[in-house]
Amino acid sequence: MALRIPQPGRYTALSGQPAMFEKRDRFLNLLGTRPVIMGIVNVTPDSFSDGGRFNSLESAKAQAQKLVAEGADIVDVGAESTRPGYTPVPEHEELARLQPVLDGLVEAVNAPVSIDTSKAAVARHAISRGVAVVNDVWGLQKDPAMADTVAEGEAAVVIMHNRAEIDEKNDVVDDMRRFFDRSLALAEKAGIPRRFIMLDPGVGFGKTKQQNLQAISGITRLRDYQLPFLVGLSRKSLLGSLLGDQPDIKLIGTLAANLVAAAHGASIFRVHDAAEHAAAFKVFDAIERA
pLDDT tens figures, 41-82? 999 874 445 444 666 888 889 999 999 999 999 999 999 877
Q: Is 270 a residue of the active site?
A: yes
Q: What is the DSSP secondary structure assignment for residue 87, as one 8-state letter?
A: P
Kindly list the structural domains of the chain, giving each domain's residue range(s) and its CATH number in brackets, ordered by start: 24-285 (3.20.20.20)
pLDDT band (50, 70, 90) for residue 120: very high
Q: Is 236 a residue of the active site?
A: yes
User: 71-101: per-residue pLDDT in tens?
Assistant: 999 999 999 877 666 677 899 999 999 988 9
Task: Please check the confidence at residue 12 and state whether its pLDDT lies above 50.
Answer: no
User: 239-268: per-residue pLDDT in tens?
Assistant: 878 887 676 788 899 999 999 999 999 999
- Residue 48's CB: how many other CB atoms inside 10 A? 17
Strand ranges, E, within the chain:
36-42, 74-78, 113-116, 133-136, 156-160, 197-200, 230-231, 268-271
Query: Among residues 129, 235, 250, 270, which one is catalytic?
Result: 270
Concatenating the DSSP letter of every residue in 112-153 gives -EEEE-S-HHHHHHHHHTT--EEEETTTT-SSTTHHHHHHHH
- Residue 129 CA from chain centroid, whole number: 19
If we measure between CA atoms, which residue out of 209, 207, 204 comes closest to residue 233? 204
Task: Please check the confidence at residue 116 and state whether its pLDDT lies above 90.
Answer: yes
Query: Among residues 236, 250, 282, 289, which one is catalytic?
Result: 236
For the chain, the average pLDDT equals 89
- Residue 99's CB: how many other CB atoms inside 10 A? 13
User: 205-240: per-residue pLDDT in tens?
Assistant: 999 999 999 999 999 999 999 999 999 999 888 887
Structural element, H or E, at residue 109: none
Q: What is the DSSP secondary structure assignment for residue 229, as one 8-state letter?
A: B
Report helix, strand or coil for 173: helix
